[in-house]
Structure 1
Amino acid sequence: MAVAPPQKITTFLMFEGRAEEAMTFYTSLFEDGRIIDVTRYGPDGPGPEGTVVHATFQLAGQRFMCIDSPAKHEFGFTPAVSLFVDCADEAEIDRLYAALGEGGAELMALGDHGFSRRFGWVNDRFGVSWQLNLP
């Protein structure tokens, strides 16, 4: 059996104090979701103690990285870049749409938009954009 090469391109998410909350939420939504490693700021900073210097987690076989930026910035996430999820069935797309949309914003209602039998697009409560598709 051939071993898959390591993932060359990894999505990197920058938060301002909510990286662990987001990562824990995302890994709870996917069957194989898991936190791989977390490094936290200590009492000497530069970020608030306990926040994430760097973390790696996995969703649906893909690795992601995230941090809590100690620098405040004037930008956040935008729907111009989103995570696209092909769902296995109606139950999965309904569950993910409800969970990811809670406390977030609907960009496209879940339904048949012509290019897919069922599709929905939401920004989650952290501002990350998700396109959910039932092929």
Structure 2
Amino acid sequence: MTESNQKILPFLSFKGNAEEAVNFYISFFPEAKIISLEHITDNAYGEPGKVLNVLFEIMGQQFMAMDMDGTHSPEFSWAVSMFINCSSENEFDMIFGKLSESGFVMMGPEPVLEFKKVAWVTDKYNVTWQLVWK
């Protein structure tokens, strides 16, 4: 596993679909990439072939993720969300469109205070994102 220079990284525990989710995110986020990916090879760590750990980057922010079996995997909650400052309306619209595909729009897009657009969306993997564009 490649080490990150960041001291704190969001760590996402998926229910067996971490690689699918990460590939979804890197398919549309600007400058997104997988830095390292390690699969489970030993039953002691879970189902062989699933993700033991993956380090990936979205818009300069690094994340880690893994697969957990259904009995030990916690549910994602909108109590924790990924906040994105979009640099343009086009970027906001593109990211919102992708995240809301098969997801759930909790709010927006709509203007809020000094922001021209704000949205809160839970994607198809149950990860919640807040998007803003000034």
Is this a same-fold pair by TM over 0.5? Answer: yes
Match of 1:19 in 2: 18
Q: What runs of 5+ residues in structure 1 fail to find an aligned partner?
A: none
TM-aligned CA deviation for residue 130 of structure 1: 0.3
8 A contact 2:115–2:132 mirrored in 1: yes
Report the Cα distance in structure 2 between the residues aligned to 1:129 and 1:78, rounded to whole angstroms: 7
Q: What runs of 5+ residues in structure 2 fail to find an aligned partner?
A: none
- Correspondences of 1:1-135 after superposition (within 5 Å): 6-42=5-41, 44-70=43-69, 72-73=71-72, 75-135=74-134
Change (3 A) 1:43 1:6: closer
TM-aligned CA deviation for residue 32 of structure 1: 1.1
8 A contact 2:40–2:51 mirrored in 1: yes
The Cα offsets for residues 54-110 of structure 1, whole Å up to 9 and x where unpaired, read as 110001111100000136237311111100001111111111111001111111020
Amino acid in the other structure paired with 1:113: V
Aligned length: 131
TM-aligned CA deviation for residue 28 of structure 1: 1.5
Report the Cα distance in structure 1 between the residues aligned to 2:103 and 2:83, rounded to whole angstroms: 17
8 A contact 1:11–1:65 mirrored in 2: yes
Q: Secondary structure at the match of 2:57?
A: strand
Report the Cα distance in structure 1 between the residues aligned to 2:117 and 2:131, rounded to whole angstroms: 8
Q: Secondary structure at the match of 1:117?
A: strand
Amino acid in the other structure paired with 2:88: D
